[in-house]
């Protein structure tokens, strides 16, 4: 099978390319010379070759924008970039997979949130992804292409970015501290599991959450990672953190504020039952299979 992957040098894209090229012909499209097809989708319409499947993994990841220009960039990359990709397709593939996000639900807490939940995302990241989802669906109907939309939580793989990467780094250096009891549970999924499953979903359509089905607590996660790294986990009681968070509310750039503490203190999990039933999705546990030493 011939597969084109956008964002092939990004965190998820690299893992998709690495795994899929073992059994398939893979073409990587994105910014930079490491891609076989070099285009900035936010500014250019690419010439897409004939392929069987397109996996659109390129996008601007979730960060808190600090300016109007940064807010605008989410729409330039996630929405305009998707539109330019679709405009560049002259020979339609059998399947197009769009990598979306659970941020479209717009929730900070909740458990087993399913695909039919209200789409309340208000951040530029969530809005740009949701608008891109709708654009891709409409294009699929018009061009009779099977559209698979995957709403992903925390993606786990070698050398992870973001909060998970910061946790691993802090554990390795010995200064990690768990905030409170760490009872909040979070959904996550192994990037490698997604990559291995995608070829089996050729020709399927629909919108699905993907998780590892375990939704570990922060305490389960940091203990598992620390054990694999030969480290121990130390904790900070919650009451002084609440005071620090209130101080952080008044100081821009302070590493802790009430919003972040509240987010770390509440569970946020998503149901992947629909994918398990309809896609035969059978994920592995992040706790058991993620190696933080890589």
DSSP per position, 70-121: HHHHHIIIIIIHHHHHHHTBSS--SEEEEEEEGGGG--SSEEEE-TTS----
User: How many C-beta neighbours within 10 Å does residue 231 have?
Assistant: 18
Continuous segment of H or E residues that includes residue 30: strand 25-30
Contact 233, 209 (CB under 8 A): no
- The pLDDT > 90 percentage for the chain reads 84
Continuous segment of H or E residues that includes residue 204: none
**Helix 218-229 with 162-173: angle, nearest 10 deg:** 50
Q: What is the pLDDT of residue 120?
A: 98
User: How many C-beta neighbours within 10 Å does residue 171 have?
Assistant: 20
- Model-level pTM greater than 0.75? yes
The structure tokens listed for 170 are 């802090």
Taking only the tens place, the pLDDT of each residue in 18-62 is: 999 999 999 999 988 889 999 999 999 999 999 999 999 999 987
Q: What is the pLDDT of residue 240?
A: 84
Taking only the tens place, the pLDDT of each residue in 245-272 is: 888 888 887 777 887 788 778 999 999 9
Q: What is the pLDDT of residue 270?
A: 99
**Helix 238-248 with 258-265: angle, nearest 10 deg:** 140
| CATH code linked to domain 2-155+190-211+271-278 | 3.40.50.720
Nearest to 32 by CA among 70, 51, 58: 58
Mean pLDDT per 10-residue segment, the chain (294 residues): 96 97 97 89 96 98 84 96 98 98 97 98 97 99 98 98 94 94 97 98 98 98 98 90 87 80 88 99 98 92
Q: What is the pLDDT of residue 262?
A: 80
Separation between Cα atoms, residue 68 and residue 64, nearest integer Å: 11
**What pairs with residue 155 in β-bridges?**
189
Q: What is the pLDDT of residue 67?
A: 87
Q: What is the pLDDT of residue 245?
A: 87
Contact 144, 89 (CB under 8 A): no
Q: What integer best gives the mean pLDDT of the chain?
A: 95
Q: What is the pLDDT of residue 254?
A: 78
Q: What is the pLDDT of residue 193?
A: 99
């Amino acid at each position: 099978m011939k597969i084109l992957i956008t964002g092939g040098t990004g965190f998820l894209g690299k893992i998709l390319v690495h795994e899929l090229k073992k059994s398939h012909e893979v073409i990587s499209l994105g910014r930079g010379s490491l891609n076989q097809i070099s285009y900035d989708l936010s500014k250019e319409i690419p010439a897409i070759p004939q392929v069987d499947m397109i996996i659109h993994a390129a996008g601007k990841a979730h960060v808190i924008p600090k300016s109007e220009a940064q807010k605008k960039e989410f729409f330039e990359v996630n929405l305009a970039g998707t539109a330019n990709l679709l405009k560049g397709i002259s020979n339609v593939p059998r399947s197009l997979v769009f990598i979306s996000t659970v941020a479209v639900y717009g929730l900070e807490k909740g458990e087993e949130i399913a695909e039919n939940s209200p789409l309340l995302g208000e951040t530029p990241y969530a809005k740009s992804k949701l608008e891109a989802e709708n654009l891709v669906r409409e294009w699929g109907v018009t061009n009779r292409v099977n559209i698979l939309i995957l709403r992903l939580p925390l993606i786990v793989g070698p050398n992870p970015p973001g909060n998970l990467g910061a946790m691993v780094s802090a554990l390795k250096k010995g200064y990690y501290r768990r905030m409170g009891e760490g009872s909040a549970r979070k959904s996550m999924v192994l990037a490698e599991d997604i990559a291995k499953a995608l070829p089996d979903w050729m020709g399927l359509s629909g919108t699905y959450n993907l998780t590892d089905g375990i939704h570990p607590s922060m305490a389960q996660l940091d203990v598992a990672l620390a054990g694999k790294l030969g480290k121990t986990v130390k904790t900070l009681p919650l009451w002084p953190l609440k005071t620090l968070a209130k101080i952080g509310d008044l100081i821009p750039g302070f590493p802790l504020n009430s919003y972040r503490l509240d987010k770390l203190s509440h569970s946020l999990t998503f149901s992947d039952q629909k994918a398990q039933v309809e896609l035969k999705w059978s994920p592995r546990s992040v706790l058991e299979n993620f190696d933080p030493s890589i």
